[in-house]
């Protein structure tokens, strides 16, 4: 299939059509990143052009779901960036564990790898029972995977290696079981989690949190949206709460030092002042 290029005019026409028909606003996404994702979705969905995509979205309302699933593909892996998970376990969860309830928001949870990683860390700290978590994403298909916790055998092998870098003496195999299509994560790891469809650009969270994860999601947003979201996260953190961003987000220059303390710059953890 020929390489697809999305022009500025095509991007504007497509995003305006989606906004009018589905009330989904892409105007806050970084244009070049969005163009690449649209081009990729056209290939994956076996269409021939931006015009074909535009027609399909206007004629078939159900087509928005596979399109959104392709657009919102995330950068995710269990125990990616082991320094983050070690810092959480050793430095962050110890003081938070003295609270009656630990409230966590996984903003842009994708297919759930981050959620299960956190569940394992909480289990190892003995804090699962006192944790309440919200996991949100704009992609229904991604959240379906997150809810079931089913992952391919090759993925599990990758996650095992990541886990060993986080906890060299732990046994990752304790947390998943083989099934006919791969492996399924233990349900106890997400019994405290509510999965919910949510658009970071247009929807507000329902409550305040002690920890907000938003990792490798905002790389797709424009500068103004990043600034607004960082402020919103600050508003929805409890006093002394923690914002955890991704290694690819390039957001450190946008973090206001009068509002956040750099708890661990390498792990991209910032504490609300």
CA dihedral defined by 129, 88, 153, 106, rounded to 10 degrees?
A: 70
Residue 187 and residue 217 share a domain: yes
Residue 209 and residue 129 share a domain: yes
In a domain, 149, yes or no: yes
Residue 132 and residue 220 share a domain: yes
Residue 43 and residue 107 share a domain: no
Residue 174 and residue 121 share a domain: yes
In a domain, 152, yes or no: yes
Q: Which of 52-56, 57-61, 122-126, 157-161 has the highest mean pLDDT?
A: 122-126
Here the CATH number for the domain that contains residue 54 is 1.10.155
Nearest alpha-carbon partner for 214 in 225, 164, 20, 190: 225
34-56: average pLDDT: 91
pTM: 0.80
Residue 16 and residue 134 share a domain: no
Residue range of the domain that includes 27:
8-71
Measured CA to CA in angstroms, residue 56 lies from 22, 41, 214, 218 at distances of 13, 13, 32, 28
199-206: average pLDDT: 90
| Total of domains in the chain | 2
In a domain, 198, yes or no: yes
Residue 222 and residue 129 share a domain: yes
Query: How does pLDDT run across 216-247, given as a tens digit for each residue?
Result: 888 777 788 888 999 999 999 999 999 999 87
Rg (CA), the chain: 19
In a domain, 233, yes or no: yes
Residue 111 and residue 223 share a domain: yes
Alpha-helical runs (H) found in the chain: 8-22, 31-44, 50-59, 64-71, 82-87, 93-96, 113-125, 140-148, 153-166, 223-235
Residue 105 and residue 65 share a domain: no
In whole angstroms, what is the distance from residue 126 CA to residue 111 CA? 25
Residue 220 and residue 179 share a domain: yes
Q: Give the pLDDT of residue 112.
A: 95
Say yes or no to pLDDT of 12 above 80: yes
> How high is the mean pLDDT of the chain?
90
């Amino acid at each position: 299939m020929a390489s697809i290029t999305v022009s500025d005019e095509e991007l504007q026409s497509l995003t305006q059509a989606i906004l009018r028909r589905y009330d989904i606003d892409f105007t806050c996404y970084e244009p070049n990143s969005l163009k690449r994702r649209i081009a990729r979705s056209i290939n994956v969905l076996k269409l021939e052009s931006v015009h074909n995509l535009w027609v399909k979205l206007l004629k078939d309302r159900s087509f928005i779901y596979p399109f959104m699933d392709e657009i919102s593909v995330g950068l995710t892996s269990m125990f990616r960036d082991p320094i983050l998970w070690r810092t959480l376990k050793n430095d962050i969860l110890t003081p938070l564990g003295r609270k009656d309830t630990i409230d966590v928001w996984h903003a842009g949870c994708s297919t759930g790898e981050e959620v299960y990683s956190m569940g394992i860390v909480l289990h190892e700290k003995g804090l699962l029972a006192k944790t309440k978590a919200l996991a949100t994403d704009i992609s229904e298909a991604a959240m379906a995977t997150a809810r079931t916790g089913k992952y391919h055998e090759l993925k599990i092998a990758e996650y095992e290696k990541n886990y060993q870098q986080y906890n060299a003496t732990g046994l990752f195999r304790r947390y998943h079981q083989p099934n006919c299509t791969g492996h399924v994560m233990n349900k106890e790891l997400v019994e405290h989690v509510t999965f919910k469809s949510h658009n970071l650009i247009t929807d507000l969270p329902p409550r305040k949190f002690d920890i907000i994860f938003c990792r490798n999601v905002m790389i797709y947003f424009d500068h103004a949206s990043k600034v607004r979201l960082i402020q919103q996260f600050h508003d929805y953190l409890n006093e002394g709460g923690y914002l955890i961003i991704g290694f690819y987000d390039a957001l450190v220059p946008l973090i206001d030092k009068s509002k956040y303390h750099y708890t661990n710059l390498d792990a991209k953890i910032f504490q609300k002042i």
